[in-house]
Structure 1
Amino acid sequence: MYTASSIKGLVLAAGEGSRLRPFTFSRPKHLIPLLGKPMIQYPIEDLFSTGVRDIGIVVGYFGDMIRDILGDGTGFDARFTYIQQEKRLGIAHAIHRAIETGFVDREFIVYLGDNILSNGIKDYARTWFEDNSDVHILLARVRDPRRFGVAIVRDGRIVKLVEKPKEFVSDLAVVGVYMFRDPDLVEKAFKSLKPSWRGEYEVTELIQWFIDNGYKVSYSIVSGWWKDVGTYDGLLDAVYLLLDRADPRIEGVVEGDVKGRVVVEKGAIVKGSVYGPAYIGRDVIVERNAVVEHYVSIEQGARVLSGSIMRSLVMDGAEIDLNKARLIDSVIGSRSIIKCSRELQGDISLVISDYSRVQL
């Protein structure tokens, strides 16, 4: 019988997020806010939706910050156990650390802390458990398979996994969710591995061991979208996709004009105009001379004094004063200040790290 409460969850959040520098010089990427939540909260809540409440979080880079933000899980009606991965030696090594420390001692689901799936994993977890598979993985069709591990499938069966292929072998990318039935078998597989050319123990090679040794490795092709949030473009894509599924909600004060699917959190004050889909976080102020256009997430405590913003992420505490200019396709770091003292016309696109100041 499928009882998710007996399954453990494992969220991986030890990486440095080098592709998201300079933001990750001052925090782990997993704490970058998206619509009022740190990125890592989305996979955690997805595990909750399956019934999993006992979750290990593998940390390394700025791990103390993740502990401080998430706590021990009591605020989520769950239990969080933190597992240290001192050296970032790959996903398979992170899984090994969770087993080695004794946290993983039964069936478990691994979820990368920078992955978001629109339809969640609940149905796939049930499929894995009811099929009695040793390993179950999720696949998604992608345009550029070279960026991912991919699966070669023949006659409905996975025959080979290839990590970041240089030549086309399949367009079925391996999504960052892996389900394992027996931790002892996983450890046996790990001990057979050697570091790849990247110096990491690859999860694709770990799963390949199960395939090569005749164990049952099943898969599901995900419906809806899947986003691996590891780049600036990925951040903005995540904002767009999350806003597309957000339900409109007004809990703050609206003195100006709000149209379309807009979320206005408690403590926010909108004096100007907001056109959805858009997210206005807690204690945000949108002044009278400011316009927030489509696909914008303005995080807690930010202030938009003047100008227009479109297709952008403005992080907590930032201040935007654009005069008559428009900010588009931009990522603005926490507590940064952008001030346009001249009457510039047209669009501006910026990627600004935390605590920065830009004078135009």
Structure 2
Amino acid sequence: MKALILVGGESLPRLSTLGRTLPFLEMASHSSHIDKAPPLIRVPTGFGTRLRPLTFSKPKPLVEFANKHMILHQIEALAKVGVKDIILAVNYQPDVMVEAMHKVEEQFGVTIHFSIEPEPLGTAGPLALARAILEKDSEPFFVLNSDVICEFPFEGLLAFHRSHGCEGTLMTTRVQDPSKFGVILTKPGTTQIARFVEKPTEWVGDHINAGIYIFSTKILNRIANRPMSIEKDVFPFMARDGELHTIPLQGFWADVGQPKDFLIGTGLYLNSLAAHESPELAKGPHIVGNVLIHETAVIGEGCRIGPDVTIGPGAKVGNGVRLSKCVLMKNAVVKDFAWVNRSIIGWYSTVGKWARLDNTTVLGEDVHVADEVFVNGGSVLPHKNRMASRVQHSLSATEVDMKAVARLVAECQRMTDAAETVAEEVRRSITQNTNCLSQLRILSKQIEDSSLELQLISGQHSVSVAPEAIVVD
């Protein structure tokens, strides 16, 4: 069994097999690691721009998610279902990927090859590039988006695909706001896909593409050796021909390709570990909710950690630190009494004493935030340790001195109190004016009544005026 992982990036028209480089078709004909039943996985990623500044230091598949390279979650799941050969279609930092995959081969007992694209081929083109290998036999193959994290139910997906016998099966997941995605509609009472509705403006459904597929080799007849989108150039025609089915994904699902979603996905992954009663989760009086702490990390006294926190190898957390919904990468340091919420701290980075990070702040590799600095939604480029003061100035739009914060809070409180005083005066004035208005209304009514009475009297009697007196008949 084998697999193909598309990593994306630079344009280098060769294929390497962990140290060897040769034309793609030559590798396909000479490799001795191809079995007769090859599921394929293709994990598409590009330059990783959405996950910067972390991807300035390493390719996105090598960024740690829950203390494990993102790509290892997929490779581990593949190895469990018997995949032995994995082809990585790479054009971004290929040397880094090659070096990292040496250990992966040994760890999971797989053979990893690299297909370096002459140009980015989209989400379908790489299948045509790998056609010589895929058509070695008629067995179906997996296709997987590398940004996706879930429980990877490959065995169930394979069984379902074989049961209907058509060209392809894709997994779906439900979302609360389908207007941001392409919605999948099936024919009534079946699993056969009828059509796709891209970013609907009105309700049509809430099932979207989960980025996990399995195909028969017949799909290769639909794909040319050029840049193509499998979602736009292939799937609609498969659906038209009745060759595409869908199965709902059970359990959690997350696209972790950008910082906000990376943090949300971390929480979902940790919830899944808790549901399976994983012994990996940390325990203790200082732990709140689901927390994953590497065994080599050091935690100080009086800390409160969680929920949804992962702490990487060699990380150090000082005394009295508060961590919530955040990720600390390898050898990150958070000093005493710092507060980190909804943020990612990159490799070898430091957060100073009494500092605060919040609102999806991301520190790249080797960044040092000074003491008593508040970083709110900042994104800091790697290697700012030599210029700590400039790091503070570069974040001037989102950071303030903690003493200045205290002064601003006091000033805001004073202004709030003054506003309350003015509001009370206005309320009293309104009450007084209301009372005056009521009195005026009463007096007006009395005047009106008196005027009416005077008219009645005038109609019943004649009035004459004498020089000496008024005489009424």
* TM bracket, shorter-chain basis: 0.7 to 0.9
210, 214, 221: which one pairs with 2:238? 210
Equivalent position of 1:129 in the other structure: 162
Does the CA-based 8 Å contact 1:151-1:172 persist in structure 2? Answer: yes
SS in 2 for 1:288: coil
Q: Provide the C-alpha distance between the structure 1 equivalents of 2:95 and 2:135, rounded to a whole number of angstroms.
A: 21
Q: Provide the C-alpha distance between the structure 1 equivalents of 2:177 and 2:281, rounded to a whole number of angstroms.
A: 39
Does the CA-based 8 Å contact 2:74-2:152 persist in structure 1? Answer: no
Measured on the aligned residues, the alpha-carbon RMSD in Å equals 3.1
Q: Provide the C-alpha distance between the structure 2 equivalents of 1:209 and 1:122, rounded to a whole number of angstroms.
A: 27
1:88-127: CA deviation from partner (whole Å, max 9, x where unpaired): 2311112222225x35634210111111124644322222
1:271-317: CA deviation from partner (whole Å, max 9, x where unpaired): 1314234222211111124232x322212111111311123222221
Q: 5 Å matches for 1:143-158?
A: 143-155=176-188, 156=190, 157-158=192-193
Identify the range of structure 1 (268-277 vs 301-310) with the bigger mean alpha-carbon deviation.
268-277
192, 206, 216: which one pairs with 1:171? 206
Indicate the structure with greater helix content: 2
Q: Does 1:189 align with 2:222?
A: yes
Q: 5 Å matches for 1:227-306?
A: 227-246=254-273, 247=278, 249=280, 257-258=286-287, 260-272=289-301, 273-277=303-307, 278-292=309-323, 294-306=324-336
Q: Provide the C-alpha distance between the structure 2 equivalents of 1:194 and 1:281, rounded to a whole number of angstroms.
A: 40
Letter of the aligned partner of 1:288 in structure 2? Answer: N
74, 83, 88: which one pairs with 1:43? 74
Letter of the aligned partner of 1:93 in structure 2? Answer: G
Q: TM-score, normalised to structure 2's length?
A: 0.64
Cα drift, residue 220 of structure 1: 0.4
Letter of the aligned partner of 1:286 in structure 2? Answer: V
Q: Residue 122 and residue 314 in structure 1: after superposition, are their counterparts in 2 closer, same or farther (change >3 A)? A: farther
1:151-170: CA deviation from partner (whole Å, max 9, x where unpaired): 221212212235x4464554
Identify the range of structure 1 (234-243 vs 273-282) with the bigger mean alpha-carbon deviation.
273-282
Q: Provide the C-alpha distance between the structure 2 equivalents of 1:316 and 1:324, rounded to a whole number of angstroms.
A: 18
Letter of the aligned partner of 1:160 in structure 2? Answer: R
Letter of the aligned partner of 1:349 in structure 2? Answer: G
Percent identity for Structure 1 against Structure 2: 22
Letter of the aligned partner of 1:188 in structure 2? Answer: N
Q: Residue 250 and residue 213 in structure 1: after superposition, are their counterparts in 2 closer, same or farther (change >3 A)? A: closer
Equivalent position of 1:10 in the other structure: 41
Does the CA-based 8 Å contact 1:49-1:122 persist in structure 2? Answer: no
Does the CA-based 8 Å contact 2:125-2:226 persist in structure 1? Answer: no
Q: Provide the C-alpha distance between the structure 2 equivalents of 1:335 and 1:83, rounded to a whole number of angstroms.
A: 32
Q: Does 1:68 align with 2:130?
A: no
Does the CA-based 8 Å contact 2:171-2:210 persist in structure 1? Answer: yes
Higher relative contact order (CA 8 A, sep 6+): 1
Q: Provide the C-alpha distance between the structure 2 equivalents of 1:242 and 1:173, rounded to a whole number of angstroms.
A: 20
Q: Provide the C-alpha distance between the structure 2 equivalents of 1:311 and 1:218, rounded to a whole number of angstroms.
A: 38
Q: Provide the C-alpha distance between the structure 2 equivalents of 1:6 and 1:319, rounded to a whole number of angstroms.
A: 48
Q: Residue 111 and residue 250 in structure 1: after superposition, are their counterparts in 2 closer, same or farther (change >3 A)? A: closer
Q: Does 1:55 align with 2:86?
A: yes
Q: Provide the C-alpha distance between the structure 2 equivalents of 1:137 and 1:321, rounded to a whole number of angstroms.
A: 47
Equivalent position of 1:139 in the other structure: 172
Q: Provide the C-alpha distance between the structure 1 equivalents of 2:107 and 2:84, rounded to a whole number of angstroms.
A: 12
Q: Residue 104 and residue 82 in structure 1: after superposition, are their counterparts in 2 closer, same or farther (change >3 A)? A: farther
345, 355, 367: which one pairs with 1:314? 345
Q: Provide the C-alpha distance between the structure 2 equivalents of 1:324 and 1:17, rounded to a whole number of angstroms.
A: 29
Cα drift, residue 190 of structure 1: 1.0
Q: Provide the C-alpha distance between the structure 2 equivalents of 1:5 and 1:330, rounded to a whole number of angstroms.
A: 48
| Bigger Rg over Cα | 2
Does the CA-based 8 Å contact 1:281-1:299 persist in structure 2? Answer: yes
Q: Provide the C-alpha distance between the structure 1 equivalents of 2:135 and 2:314, rounded to a whole number of angstroms.
A: 40
SS in 2 for 1:282: coil
Does the CA-based 8 Å contact 1:58-1:98 persist in structure 2? Answer: no
Q: Provide the C-alpha distance between the structure 2 equivalents of 1:86 and 1:220, rounded to a whole number of angstroms.
A: 34
Equivalent position of 1:86 in the other structure: 118
For structure 1, the residue ranges without an aligned partner over 5 or more in a row are: none
Cα drift, residue 143 of structure 1: 3.6
Cα drift, residue 355 of structure 1: 2.2
1:57-107: CA deviation from partner (whole Å, max 9, x where unpaired): 22112232222212262222222222222322311112222225x356342
Q: Residue 323 and residue 331 in structure 1: after superposition, are their counterparts in 2 closer, same or farther (change >3 A)? A: same
Equivalent position of 1:333 in the other structure: 364
